[in-house]
Structures are given as C-alpha cells and as structure tokens.
Structure 1
C-alpha cells in the first residue's frame, strides 16, 4: 500500500474485442523499489529463464493455457519465498562483513554451455518447469538461454551457489501451514479453481484446458507480483512467529 502497487484482479477476459485478461499497468519500477538491488538482479534472471527472448517484448499477445500460467505463478511464489529468505541472510552477512570468500566481488563472469531454453515462441509459458532458477542453482548449470556464451553472476547468485543441496531445499521450503493456506487462497482468487481431469493412462487431459489471451508484459507483471507478494508474506510470517512461534523448525 505504501508503494501504491495494486494487486492484479481475478483473471477474466476484457469486455473489448481483444479478449485479453491483462488490463492492468506494468508498475515494474514500483516492484523494483520493494526489493534489494541484489534481489532485483536475481528476479531478472528468473524472468529471463521463463520468458527468454520475450523478456523485452511487452506488447505481443499470446494465447496460453490458464492452468500453465497458474503453475508458473505458483512456481514464482515459491521462488520469491526462497529469494526473500536467502536475501535476508545475505544482507545480514554483508552488513557484518562475513560473506564467504569470493562473494565480495561485485560480479563474477563465468562461461557456460548453451542449454535448451524457454524462449523463442509464444509457448514459453506452456513448457515452464517448476522452480527453473532453483533447479539451475542446485544442479550447477544454467538452463535458460538469452544471455549469450557468458553471463555475469550477481553477488547474491554467487552467494546462493555456495549452498549445498540440503541448504537450498531448506530455504525453499515454506515454513508454516498458515503460509501455504494463504498462498493457495491468493492463487485461487486470481486464477480460479482449475478443473483437472486425469485420463485412464494416468496423465492430465489437456483437451479442455481454458485458454487465455495475455501479453508478455502481462506475464512479466504476474511473475513480479508473485515474487513480491510472497516477499511481504515472508516478512509477516517472521513477525508473527517472533511472538507466537508457530513455524516448523
């Protein structure tokens, strides 16, 4: 509220001929002001992993499965929760000047092999994998394209890459059932309750999936909201837990 950022309303097609669901402003600058500079760099990496070459394309409109968009939104919520926790630890250690050796550098350039990405088509979101950023961190690789043969690693990303798999998992786990419930209700209010049909072969029947029209700028706004919403949610969880001690150890 202080930053004057409104939440996205329930996704329904607009009344004009376009039928698009994204009638809201981008407010990207306002979102950036709510995160540390290091976290903003990580969020941009997350967006690049999901949108690929479409990251800078805010006007093109795609027809995408509403369920798939919801899955990417939920994955971005989980990423935002993880990012908030590790950024809090990073900022504390930076203030105390006890960051691990090598993380004090402003940036580190690494070479990487080119791997398949989610870029280059209107179906970027259709094939998105859960937690693409966490998968690349824990696996030691970089799964998205769009950066060229080399990329700059921010200090926070370098810091996170020093974690072992168990630490990554611990920081990515939502710590209370109350938090899970609120996130589920928030996501359902935005996307509605999906109708998932399992066919006899054990796979999901996609023939009746609802398709929505949304711009890539709208998709970017959804991801930014997901990451930021849960960032504030994590602050509230910490505040309440300091008084009632309700989170899991």
Structure 2
C-alpha cells in the first residue's frame, strides 16, 4: 500500500458545534485500539541525527541550492529563498506570455507544451522551496526532523533522542499548547505530567497507523495555526469596533477578514498570538475576549474545512511527499502495513509534536511563498 495517503481521499468529517472537545483527525480513520505496553527496555538503540537529515531530499536545483545555503550561510537564507521564488515566477509567467502571443499561429502547440512543462517544473521547485522554509523554521529551534524511519528503526525498535519536546512546544501560544497536549493525550494517552517511568514505557504500533497519526497531526497543527490567527484577527476587529463605538462583534464576511489579515503577514515572520500587541492592549482596556477553545467550539463544518484544508495544491503535495519519504521504503516508496514498530511513549510524543509543528510551519510557508509566487488554489472539498 502506498504510504502517500492522497489528500483527495481525506474527507473532512461533519462535526457539530462543540465537537472540538475531542481531537480532530480530519478524515484519517484511526482505529482506537489500545496500545500494547511492554515493561522491558531491551533494544535501546536511539535515532540520533543532525545537519539537514530531513526524510525528503530536494529534487530540483532550487531546492539543492537552498539546502546548501541553509547549511553554510543561513543568515542569507530568506533572501536567497525570495530570489529563487522571484526567478521561478518570472520563468513561469514568461512561458505563459509566450503561449498567449502564439495563439492562432503554427507554433501555438509547441508553446503550450513548453508552458505546461515549465509550470510543472516550477511547481516542483516551489515545493522544494517551501520544504526548505519549513526546515529553516525547525533549525531556528535547533530541532532536526526525524529522518527516514528505515534509518532509525533497529530490530523493530524506534527511539528518538534528543526529544526536544520543550522546543517543539515553545512555538505555540498557551491556549494552542493546551489543545495540542489534549490531542496527544487522546491519541496516545500521553499525559503532560507523566513521570519518567511512564514516558519510557514501550508500546507497539503498526507503521501504517503511525503514518496516519503523523499525517493527521500535521493537519491538526495547520488547523490550529489558521484558526488561532483568525481568532486573533477577530479580536483586532472587535478592538477596532470598541474604538469606533460599533457593535461588540464585527459582521465583516469571512473572505474579507482573511484578505485583511493577509496584509499583516510578513514572509517568514508570522506573529504568534501569544506575542501579539493586540492581546496586551485588549487586556489593558478590559474588553471581554473569548478564549480560543470557546471560539473553536462555535465552528461549523464549513469553518473547520476553511481552517484545516491547505489552501494550495503545493502544500497538499508536500504533505504527501514528506509522509512518503518518512514512512515508505527507501527504494519502492511503499509502506509495509504489517510492519510493527516498538517505541516508547516519549518517542511517540516527540514524533507527533514534530508533526503538529510541521503543520504550523507549513501554514507559514504557504503564505510566505504565495506573497512572491502565486500558488495554485486547492479546490478539493
């Protein structure tokens, strides 16, 4: 079975208002089987890694170039990424322009094929750029992505060290972190105050189930980033109404809210809700603001899909490619569904914290790239 888990097959569930008290799996069927816990600690080989040991290797010159910049000249990485995006946008647009000029001529068919080829070539390169932007965010925290599992599993045992849990949790606001921890608790029974003995107890899990948990956690991280920034934007609008004497809640359409919010997103520097000056101002004014959990409980199915579904096809492709590279066989890319992995709850927690962070950074990368290179809308419902 292919481990890519095509996004077109991920059906978003119909959730009633208030259903967000439970973790969202976004259509990935995760069987709630109890994990088998073993008391022993045999097979203590740990997955240690460094450098750019990401599972997905760049497949284009742009990706390989930025990979080298990230390793050797990271201070200039963001500028180099922007220049690559500008170059790709020019190449794609020039090919499209030549196609338009050739319409009705004998060369139209040739220019159409050239434009299609250039479009696909640029899309591959842009996906690599997005991936490098995500790696840049991880490297900022001094956290390395778990490499391909086939390089980490020894005698059926997977251990990830160092765990880097604190770093992976530090990117979230307090409210978002609470929801992330509840997601982990519901999925793997990982308690925030678990003692060392419980954390390093071992469990067995099928590789396919772990792949589904990882992909669902990416989408959950993406959802939380999107929803929390939307929440912050509505707080800004409520604050503006306070200043101008309007009603307590804005009636601006959702689409206009997002177009307003996008103007305040800088490439690679999307503000976290916890660091927003708006929060401090609203507290000083004493305005009553609903917390994030209460806000999300009011979401209907349409709103959940808006926040959870990647906005662009390039992001969807990146999730599939990253999952394939991480869980699939190095040569065939296929997933052994009956392959059982023994790991600890601590490593499982680290694994899924990485996935949630990946989803959050993917949201950042989408907006960063789309500000320079227009991405293709994801119309899959």
1:213–1:13 distance in 2 versus 1, CA, 3 Å: farther
Q: Aligned equivalents of 2:151 and 2:202: distance in 1?
A: 13
Q: Which residue of 2 aligns with 1:73?
A: 214
Q: Aligned equivalents of 1:182 and 1:195: distance in 2?
A: 18
Query: Are the equivalent residues in 1 in contact too, given 2:202–2:344 (CA < 8 A)?
Result: yes
Give the CA deviation at 1:53: 6.0
User: Is structure 2 residue 352 aligned with structure 1 residue 229?
Assistant: no
Secondary structure of 1:243's partner?
A: coil
Q: Aligned equivalents of 2:200 and 2:315: distance in 1?
A: 34
User: Is structure 2 residue 142 aligned with structure 1 residue 4?
Assistant: yes
User: Segments of 4+ in structure 1 off by > 4 A?
Assistant: 13-16, 95-101
Q: Find 1:22's aligned residue among 159, 164, 173.
A: 159
Cα RMSD for the two superposed structures: 2.8
Query: Are the equivalent residues in 2 in contact too, given 1:80–1:228 (CA < 8 A)?
Result: yes
Matches for 1:104-119 after TM superposition, within 5 Å: none
Q: Find 1:167's aligned residue among 303, 306, 325.
A: 303
1:4–1:14 distance in 2 versus 1, CA, 3 Å: closer
Q: Which residue of 2 aligns with 1:104?
A: none
TM-score (structure 2 length as normaliser): 0.45
1:189–1:53 distance in 2 versus 1, CA, 3 Å: closer
Structure with the higher helix share, 1 or 2: 2
Secondary structure of 1:12's partner?
A: helix
Q: Which residue of 1 aligns with 2:82?
A: none
Structure with the higher strand share, 1 or 2: 1
Q: Aligned equivalents of 1:20 and 1:41: distance in 2?
A: 30
Q: Which residue of 1 aligns with 2:108?
A: none
Gaps of 5+ in 2: 1-138, 242-246, 249-289
1:178–1:212 distance in 2 versus 1, CA, 3 Å: same
Structure index of larger Rg: 2
Q: Which residue of 2 aligns with 1:47?
A: 184
TM-score (structure 1 length as normaliser): 0.66
Q: Aligned equivalents of 1:95 and 1:167: distance in 2?
A: 19
Query: Are the equivalent residues in 2 in contact too, given 1:67–1:194 (CA < 8 A)?
Result: no
1:14–1:187 distance in 2 versus 1, CA, 3 Å: closer
1:214-249 CA-to-partner distances (Å, cap 9, x unmatched) read 111111111100010121111010111123332527
Q: Aligned equivalents of 2:160 and 2:364: distance in 1?
A: 29
Aligned residues: 186
Query: Are the equivalent residues in 2 in contact too, given 1:174–1:180 (CA < 8 A)?
Result: yes
Give the CA deviation at 1:54: 6.1
